[in-house]
Chain A
Amino acid sequence: MKFSLSWLKQYLETEATVEEVAAKLNAIGLEVEGIEDPSEKLTGFRVAKVLTAARHPDADKLQVLTVDTGDGQPLQVVCGAPNARAGLVGVLGLPGATVPANGLVLKKSAIRGVESNGMMCSTRELELGEDHDGIIELPEDAPVGTAFADYHGADPVIEVAITPNRPDCMGLYGIARDLAAAGLGTLRPIEQLDIAGEFPCPVEIRTDDPEGCPAFYGRVIKGVKNGTSPQWLQDCLMSAGQRPISALVDATNYVMLAYGRPAHAYDLAKLNGAVFARRARDGETVLALNEKEYTLDSDMTVIADDSGVHDIAGIMGGEHSGCEDGTTDILLEIAYFDPERIAKTGRKLNLTSDARARFERGIDPSFLDSGLAHLTRLIQTLCGGEASEVVRAGAAPATPKIVHFDPVLTEKLGGVSIPLEEQQRILEALGFVAVAEQAGFDKAWAVTVPGWRPDVDGAPDLVEEVVRIHGLDKVESVALPRTDGVARPTATPAQKQERRVRRAAAARGLQEAVTWSFLPQVEADAFADGNGGLWTLSNPISEDMKVMRPSLLPGLLSAAKRNLDRGASSLRLFELGRRYLRGKDGASDERMALGVVLAGDKAPRGWATGKAVPFDAYDAKAEALALLAEAGAPADKLQVMGEAGPQFHPGQSGTLRLGPKNVLARFGMLHPTAARQFDIDGPVALVEIYLDAIPGKKGAATFARVSYAPPALQAVTRDYAFLVPVELPAGDLVRVVQGADKVNIVAARLFDDFRGQGVPEGQKSLALEVTLQPLEKSYKDEDLKAITDKVTAAAAKLGAVLRG
């Protein structure tokens, strides 16, 4: 809502300045979005008097004026306005001034060879009206030489954001009422009008859709003369940001802006027979006033006559039956439409309008007759004409809402103690009527809600009314009760895991990124792994943000690509976030994952290390294992297996599993085809850890560790080299060797993988260092031989032969 201060003062008797009004509006919940001071844009314009006017020597339509600006020396100005003449007092824009309408900065110039020192302005040029037929003519006694802003009177415009619960404040009167309740002045009552009809209404009016249009009142005014509306009305509309159109249209807009009451005026000559509210027919079309055609359906209410639809009810009138300059007879419509239907229709048609905004929030059902009377009087004042009797089809919901309100609730919920009389005063100033339900006013009240407050339907709403008008700043802070002792830990195991893994990754040199949850379709498809389908938005903001990510890797790859394009040479990115899968019963299944992308150089070229070293699959494996361990996975029990997915290099990738089925992570090199899809050159190593797949710790947490004392005897190491088939995974050999003697062998570490001279074709030599821990006494030769035998026998099961 935008309005000028002077317009507000038509309803609110107050001496308050614009700053005081704005502060109060903010304090009572009508947020001020801006204050425009129109005098600012009139800087450089001055009241000036034309002394002489002579034909321009080289142009028929131009005149050369001498203009008195009050400075003594008259200025020469070239002017094209037909009404420019000696003796006229008008408005002169001096060099340096900016014309409000077009932003042009005036300067001294020569027009067709004649010097011109400014511009005589029209109302349109100064955005004070629509008139552009000639220059402004001020009264003859206007003080020449004064700044036009001062002469015109600065009328500041306030813009207020109206929350959707306050349709009453979508009329200026409602705002005035709130301000008056808050003590900023006295509300002038709305005049009770009854304009008697001079003849029966010649048009049949009815509602065939009492659900969508419970009430449709109308009357005809004959013999009106449409035209330009008077300046005061134009000023009001322009302060509200509306363009004046014609007296008839401006009058309906004025009633809407002043009282929040939309209405519509039809050109009676363009109507045909009875006018009635009905449901639209599927596929029926209407050309609306915005010159767009809308296709309607049977859920929508319209106003129609025998020849067709003239109005999308409560939203926008039709182009064909609107008032024009030549209109002489009109039908006024003032109706009550079902707010939900208006909202649905508006949404379906994607059509917003001032009327819709008010109807869908709920207009005052008790203001139909008054609204019609005020509109009638305004039209008659502006355009003359004779009004018919009012026809009333249906009735607006009339039962006033009564809310049971215990004023004690104000303190209980609002945290501020307000005397009962003050609570009552506030409610009544806002139009509520509060009556004690039983003896004793401190007991529950029955509060009647005025028709213009559809938002109020419970006691907490009344607490809000009382507290906001009383002043939220009077609510004192009260500490939340605190439990004894220091704060208890509140994080869940999953939250602790997430925090730990995040900081572990950062400590390992990885940089955390936060990327979009949505991906382009192709990238999501490339990483979809058959979880029952991707989540695809119906209304994405762009094709690049369309599908919810099934993996963290595509987003990180795109981030890597952007960085590489910017010249980054080494990237270690990670992200901790959700993957979006399909869950039970149509719900989503959102799982925490950690993605890592390593791209570019692992180590740059160096004076000691030589050429730059690229990342490889073992770097990915190292990150996967380290971060899994930090996440609480049993790192010693993990198995490296295949099937990392088609996005990975088939020979340089793997999964880390706990048992054959439970995949905790996948890692390896990006498949060259996928690299091409992301337009990345060079090798990229990837890790994705499924945090949700890591089994939680069983039982209650204890702080005491399993007891341990370092063994007294020194551990010994033995090296074993085996010949094995080339295709045997080294990890399998390590695992069987480690398990060959669980009492003595505490560790087995592979330190050599050799193929070539001395090793038969199709085989490789794997060397392990095995750590043995004697417990009670040192090993004797026969002990060591027995262990070696066990190791050899275990390895033999994999086809491994101990080298001599």
Chain B
Amino acid sequence: MSDIEQLKAELLGAIGEAADLAGVEAIRVSALGKQGSVSGLLKTLGKMSPEERQVEGPKIHALREAVTAALGARKDALESAALDARLASETIDLSLPAPEMPKGSVHPVSQVMDELAEIFADMGFAVATGPEIEDDWHNFTALNMPETHPARAMHDTFYFPDRDAQDREMVLRTHTSPVQIRTMLSEGAPLRIIAPGRVYRSDSDATHTPMFHQVEALVIDKDIHLGHLKWTLETFLKAFFERDDIVLRLRPSYFPFTEPSVEVDVGYANEGGRRVVGGSGDEPGHAWMEVLGSGMVNRHVIKAGGLDPDEWQGFAFGVGVDRLAMLKYGMDDLRAFFDGDVRWLSHYGFSALDVPTLSGGVGTPA
């Protein structure tokens, strides 16, 4: 064995046994450093005759390459082992809980109002608003309920001791209907609006709260009749409950602000103690439930809204938003709506991302 062969065997052996990166570096210096054994051999090439160099040169270069490669390989191996060891030492228990983010929610009343706005926007209804502390002209008189009208007494009105500059008694609005008057006066006709909001009756028991939510709809145009009202109600309720089998029963009724007046029942089935809207109320296992009041806007109301009743006519209806929410999403206690119990809000509330859209269906499945 030549000297070169022997040196190669020694160096490769030593590299293979190097225990750490420092050992590898020490071998590199001893072989390839300025004073290194391989470097020394390379320096001998200059003193050789060309013939000698031709023979020895390739051998010495091969030695250098073999040592360099072995050093690199050993270094990689050692580094890899060190990383493995470090990673092994860094293992954590991922069954421990991650940081919690609080989960917010949207109240069912807000959610349902957004759903209604979405549905009615598609039918061309804008959203209108009005004050909740109303004067009795807007809340009653303009709606064809003069002071002695028996229907006034049926409204369980909350009164304030205050009177406005026109000496009108101030009340908490008992319905969203005054928005009809305000919108007719400010916008004129034709008109298609919904007016959602808080309303108040001095009534409190298991199924009534002194504050609740209504949405009013008003259409004023030239040739609007009861058939349009019926279609609008059917279309709205089908879209809201996302069911095609909604059946309505229209019954003549009386509201001072409409003539003719129509009370609307919707058919439902009793399923496991819960009312599920759909089907005719006359089918077996079904019944009718009153859901809203409606009618053709009374001429006196159109006049109070500053419009000519010989030119304009239309329909209006009002429906309880809380009731709609309960029917759709299955709550059974109205009073819980206004308690702010976070357990209830977490259970019945909606995610911020449950934005009602027509393309996705306005409702949020359970």
| A residues lining the B interface (CB < 8 Å) | 26-29, 31, 163-166, 339-340, 343-344, 347, 357, 360-361, 411-416, 455, 458, 460-461, 463-464, 467-468, 472-473, 475-480, 482-483, 487-492, 495, 499, 502-518, 535-541, 545, 548, 555-556, 558-560, 562-563, 566, 568, 570-573, 576-578, 580, 584-588, 590, 603-604, 606-609
Contact = CB atoms under 8 A, between A and B. Distances in A.
A460 B154 contact: no
A361 B349 contact: no
A505 B254 CA distance: 43
A503 B165 CA distance: 39
Interface string B98-116: 0111111111011000100
B355 interface: yes
Contact of A460 (B102, B132, B296, B350): B296
A549 to B, nearest CB: 11
Given A512-B105, A607-B97, A31 B225 contact: no
Nearest to B250: A472
Contacts of B251: 26-27, 29, 31, 472
A467 B260 contact: yes
A538 B351 contact: no
A510 B104 contact: yes
Contact of A461 (B97, B126, B219, B259): B259
Given A412-B225, A517-B132, A360 B148 contact: yes
Interface in B139-196: 148-151, 153-154, 158-166, 170, 172, 192
A78 to B, nearest CB: 44
Contacts of A477: 227, 230-231, 234
Interface string B274-302: 00000000000000000000001011000
Given A164-B154, A477-B234, A556-B340, A535 B162 contact: yes
B339 A536 contact: no
Contact of A490 (B127, B210, B224, B252): B127
B228 to A, nearest CB: 5
Contacts of A584: 165
B117 A491 contact: yes
Contacts of A537: 158-160, 172
A368 B162 CA distance: 43
A573 B342 contact: yes
Nearest to A578: B132
Which secondary structure dominates chain B's binding surface?
Answer: mixed
B125 A490 contact: yes
Interface in B302-322: 313
A541 B210 contact: yes
B124 A483 contact: yes
A480 B259 CA distance: 19
Contacts of B123: 480, 482, 487
Contact of B226 (A414, A580, A603): A414
B3 interface: no
B173 to A, nearest CB: 10
B150 A343 contact: yes
A455 B144 CA distance: 12
A340 B148 contact: yes
B202 interface: yes
Q: Which of B117, B204, B296, B350 is the most central at the interface, judged by chain A CB atoms within 10 Å of its CB?
A: B296
Contacts of A515: 338, 340
Contact of A517 (B96, B99, B135, B200): B200
A458 B338 contact: no
A31 B288 CA distance: 12
Interface residues of B, number: 96
B168 to A, nearest CB: 8
Contact of A506 (B117, B225, B230, B351): B351
A314 to B, nearest CB: 13
B338 A514 contact: yes
B263 interface: yes
A357 B153 CA distance: 11
Given A29-B253, A587-B135, A412 B223 contact: yes
B53 interface: no
A587 B164 contact: yes
Interface in B53-86: none
Contacts, number: 277
B31 interface: no
B341 interface: yes
Given A503-B355, A562-B340, A607-B97, A468 B260 contact: yes
Contact of A463 (B150, B227, B260, B353): B260
B80 to A, nearest CB: 31
B342 A506 contact: no
B202 A506 contact: no
Contact of A475 (B96, B250, B299, B337): B250
B127 A509 contact: no
Contact of A559 (B109, B296, B339): B339
B121 to A, nearest CB: 5
B148 A514 contact: no
Given A460-B259, A508-B104, A163 B225 contact: no
Given A166-B254, A415-B227, A539-B158, A514 B133 contact: no
A511 B341 CA distance: 10
Q: Which of A490, A502, A537, A571 is the most central at the interface, judged by chain B CB atoms within 10 Å of its CB?
A: A490
A605 to B, nearest CB: 12
Contacts of A489: 121
A572 B104 contact: yes
A255 B215 CA distance: 43
Given A505-B104, A586-B163, A479 B132 contact: no
Nearest to B227: A415
A576 B340 contact: no
Given A164-B150, A490-B127, A586-B170, A517 B211 contact: yes
B124 A163 contact: no
B329 to A, nearest CB: 15
Contacts of B228: 415, 478-480
Interface in B219-260: 219, 223-232, 234-235, 249-254, 256, 259-260
A7 B314 CA distance: 41
A566 B165 CA distance: 47
Nearest to A344: B148
Nearest to A357: B150
A164 to B, nearest CB: 4
B42 to A, nearest CB: 45
B124 A480 contact: yes
B250 A506 contact: no
B44 interface: no
Contact of A464 (B110, B154, B259, B263): B259
B297 to A, nearest CB: 9
Given A585-B165, A586-B163, A587-B131, A414 B121 contact: no
Nearest to B234: A477
A506 B350 CA distance: 9
A177 to B, nearest CB: 15
Contacts of A508: 104
B22 interface: no
A82 to B, nearest CB: 46
Given A487-B122, A586-B170, A566 B341 contact: yes
A472 B219 contact: no
A499 B225 CA distance: 33
Contacts of B202: 539, 541
A763 to B, nearest CB: 37
Nearest to A607: B96
B345 interface: yes
B328 to A, nearest CB: 17
B142 to A, nearest CB: 15
Given A472-B251, A480-B232, A541-B210, A511 B349 contact: yes
A513 B203 CA distance: 22
Nearest to B226: A415
Contacts of A492: 126-127
A561 B232 CA distance: 44
A219 B261 CA distance: 42
Given A506-B105, A580-B132, A586-B170, A458 B299 contact: yes
